[in-house]
Structure 1
Amino acid sequence: MWTELLPSSSCPLVHGVHHGRLTSRTAADTMSPLSARPLLLLLVCLSLPLYAVEKFPSCVQGPAGGPGREGNPGTNGIPGTPGIPGRDGLKGEKGECVNEIFEEPWRPNYKQCAWSSLNYGIDLGKIADCTFTKLRSDSSLRVLFSGSLRLKCKNACCQRWYFTFNGAECTGPLPVESIIYLDQGSPELNSTINIHRTSSVEGLCDGVKAGLVDVAVWVGTCSDYPRGDASTGWNSVSRIIVEELPK
């Protein structure tokens, strides 16, 4: 290797060396200071390869080592500075005002008034009543009268049975009523026929205020028709049922 880097021409005195001896030189030349310089240069040139070998050794690369262990976690960095405050958003639309109403669950509320035998033979007036406690003003009242009804007359006649609430007929939406009409008879068919039938008067009424309510059944005439001989609750059970219902 060093032969190429330092050829023999780089050390000109090599040509003067032959088997370790100087050629064509006298002993006097060898001993002179000027003649000692080529000898020193020869020694320097001969020592350079040895120095280079020690300085730059030729090594074969070995196999790669195993992976090292994972290092310890590093310490937390310095906290960053606070960011710039955000801008205000766009103005929203105006909301609606809603009042929440929490109501109690609906509870059944009803009442029944019953009579074993009214046998009420009036043609005009109150027949029976039943007092009821209404809990809410926004509810409806369902009313029912069930009992025997009869109408008798020689000529055409009409009678009307209806409910009142605290003395007034229902106006929400209409009266609660039932009628019986009997046409004019004839002597051959016996116009004084007398039939008692169990019938009912039933309906819903709105607009009745909360509190005590006097629910009553009345009998009266039909408009533009003459009055007959009416009978209510003959020889049988009659009843009034009142029930409060949500609207």
Structure 2
Amino acid sequence: MMSPLVARLLLLVCLASPLYGVEKYGSCMQGPAGPTGREGNPGTNGIPGTPGIPGRDGLKGEKGECINEIFEEPWRPNYKQCAWNSLNYGIDLGKVADCTFTKLRSDSSLRVLFSGSLRLKCKNACCQRWYFTFNGAECTGPLPIESIIYLDQGSPELNSTINIHRTSSVEGLCEGVKAGLVDVAVWVGTCADYPRGDASTGWNSVSRIIIEELPK
């Protein structure tokens, strides 16, 4: 039979043994990590958030430029012809023929042409000038439109055999003529510093003035 003292010692050893085992396990080395686990299933959408606070107005921009678009009408041909059969005009100074033309734009140019027979004869050296006018004034944009005939030698009498009629032309382009009704005329006159002779225009043939409005 065990004595009471031995029994108490055994009871104390039994009570102390679990504590000793825990302490011993806590001091053991940690083992290797286990394999990575699989990803879980996607979660459901959360509750929508509330709207944010409205942003503030930005800085005021610079004032823009105003551009006006100009749409012009397409150019329309505008021309006219005046013709005469056998003018036979023998004046030496003055208007030979005219042709009225309606100019549509002020920023356009006028192309003019006179075609007809011209003749000059004289005793000594002489010169005659055929030129255009626009509403009574010669062209200044840029210069007059003219043609001349100069004869150096003649016969003692104006009715000499030197009497050659040739079809000639007076042609040019004039700028700066305003829109509206324009009186286009051909004149005959003298050349500077030379005496005039016996002029003839449009003998025994057709003469014509052609006027055309052109864009600049």
Q: TM-score, normalised by structure 2?
A: 0.72
The offset of 1:194, in angstroms, is 0.6
When structure 1 is superposed on structure 2, of 50-59 and 219-228 the one drifting more is 50-59
3-state SS of 1:127 partner: strand
Write the distance in 1 (CA, Å) between the matches of 2:157 and 2:136.
43
Instruction: Report Cα offsets for 1:13-67 as digits up to 9, x if no partner.
Output: xxxxxxxxxxxxxxxxxx9999999xx9999999999999999999999999999
Unaligned runs of 5+ in 1: 1-30
Give secondary structure in 1 for the equivalent of 2:157: helix
Q: How many residues align?
A: 215
- Of all paired residues, the percent bearing the same amino acid is 93
Partner deviation per Cα, 1:77-131 (whole Å, 9 max, x = no partner): 6444445656766776665443321111111000000011100000000011111
In structure 1, the partner of 2:117 is 148
Q: Is the 8 A contact 1:184 1:191 kept in 2?
A: no
Structure 2 distance, partners of 1:159, 1:99, is 53
Structure 2 equivalent of residue 17 of structure 1: none
Please tell me whether the aligned partners of residues 113 and 240 of structure 1 are also in contact (alpha carbons under 8 angstroms).
Answer: yes
CA distance 1:204–1:70, shift in 2 (3 Å):
farther
Q: Is the partner of 2:43 in helix, strand or coil? A: coil
Deviation (angstroms), 1:206: 0.7
Mapped to 1, the partners of 2:140 and 2:83 lie a distance apart of 26
Quickly say closer, same or farther: Cα 1:156–1:103, change in 2 above 3 A: same
Larger Rg: 1
Once the 2 structures are TM-superposed, how far is the Cα of residue 234 of structure 1 from its aligned partner?
0.3
Aligned-pair CA distance for 1:202: 0.5
Secondary structure in 2 matching 1:187: coil
The answer to whether the Cα contact below 8 Å between 2:121 and 2:158 also exists between their aligned partners in 1 is no
Secondary structure at 2:7's aligned position in 1? helix
Higher normalized contact order (CA 8 Å, seq sep 6+, divided by chain length): 2
TM-score by length of 1: 0.64
* CA spacing shift, 1:227–1:87, aligned 2, 3 Å: farther
Residue range with higher mean Cα deviation, 190-199 or 80-89:
80-89
User: Does structure 1 conserve the Cα–Cα contact (< 8 Å) formed by 2:155 and 2:162?
Assistant: no
More helix, by proportion: 1
Distance 1:170 1:219, change over 3 A: same
